[in-house]
Amino acid sequence: MSNKVKFALLLICTIFSVVTIIKLFNLSEDIIHYHNRFVRRFPQHVAQEIHQTDLTYNSYYFAGIGEGKIYLGNYTAPLQMTVLDSTLKEKKIYHIELKEKNLPFQAPQIRVLGDHFFVFEGIVPYIFKGNISNWKASLRINSGYHFSHLEPMDSVNMAIRYMTPKSGESLIGTLNLADTTKVSYDAKLLQKQFDGIFDTDGSLLFNKQFNRIVYVYRYRNEFIVADPILNLDYRGNTIDTISRAQVRLAQLKNNSMKTFAEPPLIVNKTTAVDGNLLYVNSLLPGLYESENIWKIASIVDVYDLTDKTYRSSFPIYHIAGKKMKGMLVSGNLLYALIGEKIVCYKLLEHLSQDRAVRDYAHSIH
């Protein structure tokens, strides 16, 4: 056999081997994405803790992030704003002053976006708007539909989850604080399965980089991406297979209201969005996963909003037996509220890059 023939055979074998490896890798991707939705991939050391501080109390929630600052609201001190720097070392506390004080305040919440902050309560309803330069706010809305969620899209436009007057069913809508006649909603974005209230419960987010509303269902494996005027971009799915909310309801005695007949199966708990990535704290274990990891950590699944794919998963470990109750992501930093602690994690490079995990996997082989 001549050297040329040997070289040709060697070249053919090499090409065949490379093609086979690529096909096997792509097949494994397809299996994870389509054939077995409970199989997670866990790259090592995705979230590395770099900062932590003690907040003393466990009643804080994330109100916003921007310009190197983390804004925390407090359920037990509803008009108090705690501001931390990105390293969690510097802390300042501000007290919000509302110009109108004769409203039936019950449980106000706060959101911060840019130089503005918003104080609101959907059950009344009301929305205050102010500037973080002095933390003073004036009343902008004190009428209209009741609502259960609000996320500012800019200084005047709000994404809102409304409650319809008669049935109480949820609707995704928008509100313009500069012109209260500009109220819009779309009854088709949230899809009712049996009652339109419990079965459509979920997390309302706004992706400022992509200028998109994102809604993640709590009891089923679905999320929604829509533009600011409520045109649906697409419906995506999380990797589990719970497509129908597993919720049983019971009628309260001498009351038209309903409650849970038994604890519901929660699919997606805490969520966050940043850039092209959606972060979902799932409560459902996947195949081949150790029970031990679920006893000591919260699992976060990462999805790419640009191509609707699942990227990977990583654990956020409990602290003193307490689970993560909220998270916020900015670039390659993830902030988590765990018990009385706030923790900052640095995320692995590929999570913050604008390319699919498949491309990243190819680049490291």
CA dist., res. 138 & res. 99, Å (int): 5
CA dist., res. 259 & res. 251, Å (int): 7
**33-37, 109-113, 258-262, 283-287: which has the minimum mean pLDDT?**
33-37
At residue 5, the 3 state secondary structure works out as helix
Average pLDDT, integer, range 65-89:
97
| Residue at 198 is within a domain | yes
Q: What angle do CA 169, 171, 176 make, to 5 degrees?
A: 135
Q: Given this model, what pLDDT does residue 27 score?
A: 37
* Structure confidence by residue, pLDDT tens digits, 128-184: 999 999 999 999 999 888 999 999 999 999 999 999 888 889 999 999 999 877 789
What is the percent of the chain where pLDDT is above 90? Answer: 67
Burial label, 110 (beta-carbon count in 10 A; 0-12, 13-18, 19+): buried
| Residue at 268 is within a domain | yes
Pick from 96, 91, 95, 101: nearest CA to 118: 96
Per-residue pLDDT band at 29 (split at 50, 70, 90): very low
For residues 242-275, b (16+ Cβ closer than 10 Å) or e, as one string? Answer: beebebebeeeeeeeeeeeeeebebbbbbbbbbb
pTM of the model: 0.85
| Residue at 12 is within a domain | no
CATH number for the domain including 289?
2.120.10.30
* Structure confidence by residue, pLDDT tens digits, 91-135: 999 999 999 988 888 999 999 999 999 999 999 999 999 999 999
CA dist., res. 227 & res. 214, Å (int): 9
| Residue at 5 is within a domain | no
CA dist., res. 357 & res. 359, Å (int): 5
Contact criterion met (CB below 8 Å) for 235 and 217:
no
CA dist., res. 293 & res. 315, Å (int): 8
**Cβ count within 10 A of residue 184:** 13
Is 70 exceeded by the pLDDT of residue 80?
Answer: yes
Is 60 exceeded by the pLDDT of residue 358?
Answer: no
Which domain range does residue 291 map to? 36-363
Give the distance from CA 299 to its chain's centroid. Answer: 13
**Cβ count within 10 A of residue 23:** 10
Domains identified in the chain, total number: 1
Phi, psi of 343 (to 5 degrees): -125, 140
What the block records as the tokens of 203 is 């997390």
| Residue at 248 is within a domain | yes
Q: Which residue has the tokens 């004769």?
A: 102
| Residue at 14 is within a domain | no
Q: Given this model, what pLDDT does residue 254 score?
A: 66
Pick the more confident residue, 253 or 36: 253
**Cβ count within 10 A of residue 154:** 15
Average pLDDT, integer, range 37-60:
92
| Residue at 7 is within a domain | no
| Residue at 260 is within a domain | yes
